[in-house]
Amino acid sequence: MPVLHQYVEQPGLYVKCHIKGTFVTFQLTSDGAGRLFAAGFKSDDKFPLRLLIDLIHRGEAYTFGSGVTPAEFSVGQLEFDFPDDREAERLFPVCNMDGAYDDLHLIVHEQASKTITELLCPRCRKTVGVPSSLSIPVIILTIDSLKRLESQKKISADQDAIKSLYAWFKADAAEYWEKIAKAKRRPDQGGLDFNEPGKLL
């Protein structure tokens, strides 16, 4: 379950969460933090995993290899508090070799006369050891760009890595953001006191 936090000794916000058995810290851009505040979330609030996935897709949440130890997390962060969280976790794009999230590239390379299509992090891209015919940062990919690559015969839709990217891209969160924001604005929420994003970043 993602939890929004504010840095103590520096400006900015970050997110801690537990995904697919791994504890991860995500940094937020000012746009990402503003989007969460606009939806009604403040520091120390839990929020749906689906929203974090959308922030990553937008380039507004990132890891760059940062991490924390399990001791820095509370037991509550191991729980799924929103109905869609289990399904959202399944959609999370990860490195096919070590499960990392940072700076993923779509990689196509040859191995034993077989074409391999994978999502790889920087560490695992170095271990492949063979030239790749395709290496594209996941953050710049879209459904349309995947379709173009398919039409050019550079990728195949039946590869697991491509299937996972299509599933991620099709999980449009625009309506979900509005749904969550409306729920947070309801009077029965106890008059939540939300700070302005600009005061934190």
Q: What is the pTM of this model?
A: 0.67
Mean pLDDT of 158-162: 93
Tell me what the pLDDT averaged over the chain comes to.
79
Using CA atoms, how far residue 163 sits from 117, 134, 146, 172, in Å, is: 11, 17, 10, 16
Check residue 186 and give its pLDDT.
Answer: 64
More reliable by pLDDT, 57 or 38: 38
Check residue 172 and give its pLDDT.
Answer: 67
Residue 125 — pLDDT band, cuts 50, 70, 90?
Answer: very high
Distance of CA 5 to the CA centre of its chain: 16
**Listing from the earlier edge strand, what are the strands of the sheet with 13-19?**
3-6, 13-19, 22-28, 61-62
Percent of the chain scoring above 70 in pLDDT:
79
Check residue 105 and give its pLDDT.
Answer: 94
Greatest mean pLDDT among 26-40, 69-83, 84-98, 173-187: 26-40
Check residue 85 and give its pLDDT.
Answer: 61
Residue 30 — pLDDT band, cuts 50, 70, 90?
Answer: very high
